[in-house]
Structure 1
Amino acid sequence: MPASSLAIAPDGTRIACQLQGADGNQPPLLLLAGQSNNHHWWDPVRDDFGRRTITLDYRGTGASDKPDEPYSTPGFAADVVAVLDHLGLDQVDVYGTSMGGRVAQWLAVLYGDRVRGLVLGCTSPGKTHGYERSQEIRRTLAHPDQAVRDEVLADLMYTPQWRRQNPGPYPVLGDTTMPAYAKGRHLVASNSHEAWAELPSIKAPTLILHGTDDVFSPAANANLLAERIPSARAELIEGARHAYFHEFRSVASPLVTNFLAGLQL
């Protein structure tokens, strides 16, 4: 079990964070989850990376405070810095997936000295220049029946064959403890993300991962980000959907581990 504690953001909001694993030769690895999810997003693969890992519950989720006020991906990045300060960590490697990848972009843009290596998974630069999911998917995910929404989302995350062999529960379908207003705040924060103009300022070596069959965040975003961020390269994982990091962990986790291990200390 990870050790949990509370960091205090600049506005006084308490941000729950979790630290797991022993100190090693590599910097700790910060793991950033997707929209409306808490740190349990990473439970299935947290032990894959062979190093100390840090997670957090975004404001509005988990054991963090849930203020009913506007959220943003730059604001989430500021909360991350509060966590790093709380833990006494000057620099970390960062792996963000889905909305976590959007937060990670801002972390690398606004607080570049805190990021040694960057991995962006199944994410995009924002709606203006990025490739967005279809209106049909958006309509279906707005269905009034939670069970229907969960089924659609699970299908976007995993292949049918994998779901037959792994019937769940799945830790990527959202934090069920979130109040409705917080879910709405997260949705607006993720949909409002716009980092395109600032991406060329990222200094950290960057690996971009994406499943070829991801239609929740279309795979074309991977090469778009790789072309926009200096010192970046993209790796597409054949046949994977949005939660490639779970279903295809035997491919994805070594890609992350090897990339970060190859960076100069």
Structure 2
Amino acid sequence: MGRLTVMPHATAPDGTRIAYHVRGEGPPLLLLAGQSNNHHWWDPVRSGFERSHRTITFDYRGTGDSDKPDEPYSTTGFADDVIAVLDQLGVESADVYGTSMGGRVAQWLAIRHPERVDALVLGCTSPGGSHGLERSREIRRALADADKVGRDRVLLDLMYTPGWLAANPGPYPVLGDAEMPAYAKGRHLVASNKHDAWDQLPLIKARTLVVHGSDDVFSPAANAELLAARISNADHHLIPHARHAYFHEFSTTATPLVLAFLDR
């Protein structure tokens, strides 16, 4: 899937240029991708949302067509970048759907900018910190393999079921931005690992849906119940047999579920 030749940019408070992309018509829906990924994360399922919503995606700093400063990143900082994009577009408030690290960024949007978030969907994500349930040491070691082919094989197994992988040879946009500098990948990893919104999750006022694959061990599925219990106006839904990329492999279940919640 080739990158768009030209993407418009918003300017973050620190001057970093953030590339964004808009498609579809209707109420605005902000789609937030996972760690070390750009807006192409949503390519396989975006059309299902843009039939009824004006979808907004963007490239995190360090990815895609956005600037790539070699300085500390954070999930709160990514949330500030999102606000710059919404301001550039003149969008006062939007529905927000964040998956994986994007769900962590979405938490901060709803906490720090409640007036900008209408409905909130948190997918395959975690509250972070000491309360969040993290992947096992074995998985961490496998993902640190120096061999990229080996790492990708492990990551795909965490994302999708074996049968689906056998029937769908790729490409897989959830494997990360291949052109991302190594330093930026490290910055993204640290930003995601340092996320901890637990103490402030009760401040979220937006009605919230938490979605997770029941067989997700990359971000363990029990995080869904933790988040839903911590947010006052939240419900959660586990998609049976799904792994981390539930939104892609199980899109025929996940997309209608999310749309029904947003349109309620």
TM-score scaled to structure 2, two decimals? 0.97
Aligned mate of 2:149, from 133, 147, 150 = 147
Instruction: Give the corresponding residue for 1:171.
Output: 173
CA contact (8 A) 1:4 1:19 kept: no
1:242 matched residue in structure 2: 244
Secondary structure at 1:234 match in 2: strand
1:255 equivalenced with 2:257 (yes/no): yes
Q: Counterpart of 2:41?
A: 41
> TM-score normalized by structure 1?
0.96
Name the counterpart of 2:118: 116
Equivalent pairs counted in the alignment come to 259
Question: What secondary structure is seen at the aligned counterpart in 1 of 2:19?
Answer: strand
Report the Cα distance in structure 1 between the residues aligned to 2:257 and 2:213, rounded to whole angstroms: 13
Q: Distance in 1 between matches of 2:57 and 2:231?
A: 25
Q: Is contact 1:33-1:98 (8 Å) kept?
A: yes
SS at structure 1 position matched to 2:175 = coil
Alpha-carbon distance in 2 for matches of 1:214, 1:53: 26
Corresponding residue for residue 9 of structure 1: 12
Q: What amino acid does structure 1 have at the position aligned with 2:138?
A: E
Q: Which residue of 2 aligns with 1:28?
A: 28
Instruction: Tell me the residue number matched to 1:54.
Output: 56
Q: Distance in 2 between matches of 1:89 and 1:128?
A: 35
Determine whether 1:87 maps to 2:89: yes
* Rounded Cα–Cα distance in structure 2 between residues aligned with 1:230 and 1:59: 31
Question: In 1, are the aligned partners of 2:122 and 2:208 still within 8 Å (CA)?
Answer: yes
- SS across alignment from 2:105: helix
Structure 2 partner of 1:18: 21
Q: Distance in 1 between matches of 2:250 and 2:78?
A: 27
**In 2, Cα distance between the equivalents of 1:18 and 1:161?**
33
Amino acid at match of 1:239: H
* Structure 2 match to 1:138: 140
Contact 1:32 1:55 (C-alpha < 8 Å) held by counterparts = yes
- The 8 Å contact of residues 129 and 198 in structure 2, kept in 1 or not, is answered as no
Displacement, 1:154?
Answer: 0.5
The residue type paired with residue 42 of structure 2 is W
Q: After TM superposition, give the deviation of residue 103 of structure 1 in Å.
A: 0.1
Deviation at 1:4, TM superposition (A): 2.9
Q: 1:228 aligns with which of 220, 227, 230?
A: 230
**Partner Cα distance (1:162, 1:41) in 2:** 18
Matches within 5 A, 1:180-199: 180-199=182-201
Amino acid at match of 2:43: D
Q: Which SS does the other structure have where 1:94 is aligned?
A: strand
Identity of aligned residues (%): 70
User: Aligned equivalents of 2:200 and 2:47: distance in 1?
Assistant: 33
How far has the Cα of 1:120 moved from its partner? 0.2
What secondary structure is seen at the aligned counterpart in 1 of 2:122? Answer: strand
1:203 aligned partner:
205
Q: Deviations over 1:105-126 (max 9, x none)?
A: 0000000100000000000000
Q: Is there any run of 5+ residues in structure 2 with no aligned partner, and where? A: none
Q: CA deviation at 1:51?
A: 1.3
**2: CA distance, partners of 1:213 / 1:21:** 32
Partner of 2:75 in structure 1? 73
CA distance in structure 1 between the partners assigned to 2:165 and 2:217 by the alignment: 17
Counterpart CA distance in 1 for 2:28 and 2:256 is 16
* Maintained 8 Å contact 2:7/2:65: no
For residue 259 of structure 1, report the CA deviation from its aligned partner: 0.2
Q: What are the ranges of 5 or more consecutive residues in structure 1 without an aligned counterpart?
A: none
